């Protein structure tokens, strides 16, 4: 009975997200393939960030459909346009009524059970507050202000975004899949750039059991959960803005297999390495999607150590 209820809830949430994507449908036929940059957008550009129609942020349990034969990202088919791309990310496995689709819906519902203890917190997380907190953490681009779902942008660059967060089954990490579209002030009806960005958080320490993690993510009305979600959102925005600032690039990228931690598990992705930081690896997948993943489970500590070594020594007193 619980499984059927979760399946219905998951279906309902996904269709609500599709409704939230309505403003993004404009210009879908003219939209470029995922990840294709047609013109450079200077890093000094000011942005308006459009909020979805539905204010509630989507959270789900992390699930792999590999056992169902459709791959680790859960997408079997290429999306021909913007709405197809977003619908693929948000609703794949919840559309058809075949035996395989029903099985995937059951797998999804089972995975979503990890979120049951967090429902009182998740019900209160809205896009507006999340976007404000995330925008404050971004480092690329100039000023950024929110734009209502139905508000008309007046001669401004616009980012349209629908983030979906997943919690790993061991509750040690969050994973963001953020569908992003860019519109220019010169042609606001046409999507200039579109992509999906996946950002995987650093895993929580292995010694933290599920009771400790529940207390961590739920304390102070979900403060840590909100902060981590905002940080992942900011990372996804910065990754896209960095791509746009580079402008069109036609050089062939070298693909290789990248291993990275996702909570307490190790994942693999066939992708091109774009750049590296002390704690993160930035990738472009075979689909053209962007990914930001931890270098290792301990890379956060390595960054902290690097910052400590780099900090100037305190001058002796009296000098």
Predicted confidence (pLDDT) per residue in 95-113, tens digit: 445 667 778 778 888 999 9
Calculate mean pLDDT across residues 38-63: 93
The better pLDDT of the pair 7, 139 is held by 139
Q: How many domains does the chain contain in total?
A: 1
The structure's pTM equals 0.82
State the pLDDT at residue 147: 95
Q: Is residue 304 part of a domain?
A: yes
Q: Is residue 253 part of a domain?
A: yes
Predicted confidence (pLDDT) per residue in 145-173, tens digit: 999 988 999 899 999 998 999 999 999 99
pLDDT band at 66 (very low <50, low <70, confident <90, very high): low
Q: Is residue 49 part of a domain?
A: yes
- Indicate if the pLDDT at residue 283 is higher than 90: yes
Q: Where are the beta strands (DSSP E) in 100-149?
A: 144-147
Q: Is residue 175 part of a domain?
A: yes
Q: Is residue 196 part of a domain?
A: yes
- Indicate if the pLDDT at residue 250 is higher than 90: no
Q: Is residue 143 part of a domain?
A: yes
Please, what is the average pLDDT of the chain?
81
Q: Is residue 249 part of a domain?
A: yes
pLDDT band at 119 (very low <50, low <70, confident <90, very high): very high
Q: Is residue 5 part of a domain?
A: no
Domain range spanning residue 134?
Answer: 34-64+116-308
pLDDT band at 249 (very low <50, low <70, confident <90, very high): confident
pLDDT band at 317 (very low <50, low <70, confident <90, very high): very low
State the pLDDT at residue 307: 52
pLDDT band at 69 (very low <50, low <70, confident <90, very high): low
């Amino acid at each position: 009975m619980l499984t059927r209820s979760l399946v219905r809830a998951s279906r309902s949430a996904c269709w609500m997200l599709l409704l939230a994507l309505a403003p993004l449908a404009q210009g879908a036929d003219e939209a470029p393939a995922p990840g294709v940059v047609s013109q450079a957008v200077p890093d000094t550009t000011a942005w308006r960030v459009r909020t979805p129609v539905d204010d509630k942020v989507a959270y789900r349990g992390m699930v792999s459909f590999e056992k169902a034969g459709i791959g680790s990202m859960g997408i079997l088919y290429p999306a021909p346009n913007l709405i197809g791309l977003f619908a693929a990310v948000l609703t794949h496995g919840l559309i058809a009524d075949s035996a395989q689709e029903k099985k995937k819906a059951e797998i999804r519902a089972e995975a979503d059970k990890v979120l049951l203890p967090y429902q009182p917190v998740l019900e209160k997380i809205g896009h507006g507050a999340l976007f404000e907190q995330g925008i404050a953490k971004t480092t690329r681009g100039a000023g950024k202000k929110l734009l209502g779902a139905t508000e008309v942008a007046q001669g401004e660059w616009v980012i349209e975004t629908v983030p979906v967060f997943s919690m790993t089954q061991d509750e040690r990490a969050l994973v963001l899949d953020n569908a992003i579209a860019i519109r220019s002030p010169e042609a606001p009806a046409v999507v200039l750039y579109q992509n999906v960005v996946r950002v995987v958080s650093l895993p929580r320490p292995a010694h933290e059991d599920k009771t400790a993690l529940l207390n961590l993510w739920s304390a102070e009305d979900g403060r840590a959960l909100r902060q981590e979600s905002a940080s992942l959102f900011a990372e996804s925005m910065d990754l896209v803005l960095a791509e746009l600032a580079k402008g069109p690039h036609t050089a062939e990228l070298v693909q290789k297999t990248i291993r990275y931690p996702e909570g307490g598990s190790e994942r693999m992705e066939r992708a091109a390495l774009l750049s590296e930081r002390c704690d993160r690896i930035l990738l472009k997948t075979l689909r053209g999607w962007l990914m930001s993943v931890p270098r290792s489970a301990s890379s956060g500590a390595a960054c902290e150590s690097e910052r400590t070594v780099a900090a100037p020594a305190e001058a002796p007193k009296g000098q």
